[in-house]
Amino acid sequence: MTAVTSRREPSPAADLTAPRRKRRLTSIDVVKRVLGYMLIALLIVFCVVPFAWVVLSAVDANAGPNVQAPSLSLDNFVHFFTDSGTPRLLVNSLVIGVGATALNLVLGLAGGYALARFEFRGRRLFMFGILLVRVVPAPATIVALYLIMVKLELTNTLHGLILVEAVLQLPITLWLLKGTVSAVPIELEEAAWLDGSTRIQAIRRVVLPLVGPGLGAAAMLTFMGVWGDFLTPLVMLQSQELYPLSIGLFRAFSEHNQVDWGLLAASSVVYMAPPAILYVFVRKHLLRSSLGGALKG
């Protein structure tokens, strides 16, 4: 696109560190920059404009299905937290999200430790297997999963959904925590053993404090995955009082005749807030997790 940075210095290394030299832009440079900024502006408009309705309607007491100037008010949020049905959605989402994340981390940390610290037959096969499993599209196995859940009498229950969601996110967590534990030098644990700690004590005192960041990343990724899931709760839950936000919003939207647009928008804002906030913290891990966890980003 451009030939802008002044590259007079013979050594590229010096060039990288030296502050960019002020140089008069040629008219071609100016045109390039203007075009570049226009493209960027178009991209931003494309990415952000669809959110206009959600954000504006959430603070509009007379919200409709279209973008309009809002009559700034927090009525919709008050409704969301005081209505008969909507607080339930939020509570369910939180119970499912937090429960599944906790279960996922316990299983993932124990498994990740075993994968990192022990060499056993089938370890590589297992790691590759769970990597390959990640490519299986959820819609392709959801039917059989549903029937298995029916046989285990786990459909239409929150604990059943928590269990399934925790396991569906487990391959990423195992990969992530296996890598995190491997990065903790074994010598530290050995020192603890010599000091008389048992293996479990050594894990608690030495490993656990050091894998904090990896554990945190795994927790946030799992929570975001579970929080945003639509298909699994759609299939597994039938009772309205068990619905999480995702299904509640879908049902509310599908009732074409009597949609409370303001409430819907406010619910959306509540629903998208946690992942948007968590995202700031997990940015650098997201690439690895998106598929496989095997990418060297």
Residues 254-273 touching other proteins, rule: CB under 8 A, are 264-265, 268, 271-272
Residue written as token pair 């396991």: 167
Contacts of 255-259 with C-beta under 8 Å, sequence gap 24+, read: 259/65
**Token representation of residue 18:** 């030296």
User: Of 61, 163, 208, 210, which one interacts with other proteins (CB under 8 A)?
Assistant: 163
Taking CB under 8 A as the rule, does residue 153 contact other proteins?
no
Site for other proteins in 116-145 (CB under 8 A): 116-120, 123-124, 126-128, 130-133, 135-145
Rounded CA-CA distance 107/115 in Å is 12
Site for other proteins in 184-243 (CB under 8 A): 185-187, 190, 193-194, 199, 227-228, 230-231, 235
**Token representation of residue 198:** 């048992």
End-to-end CA distance of the chain: 25
SS3 179: helix
Site for other proteins in 62-101 (CB under 8 A): 65-68
Contacts of 291-294 with C-beta under 8 Å, sequence gap 24+, read: 291/134, 291/135, 292/131, 292/134, 292/135, 292/175, 293/131, 293/134, 293/171, 293/172, 293/175, 293/176, 294/131, 294/175
> Least distance to other proteins from the beta carbon of 54, Å?
5
Q: Which stretch binds other proteins (CB under 8 A): 72-80, 82-90, 170-178, 204-212?
A: 170-178
In terms of CB distance, is 5 or 73 closer to other proteins?
5
> Least distance to other proteins from the beta carbon of 62, Å?
14
In terms of CB distance, is 72 or 135 closer to other proteins?
135
> Least distance to other proteins from the beta carbon of 32, Å?
8
Taking CB under 8 A as the rule, does residue 44 contact other proteins?
yes
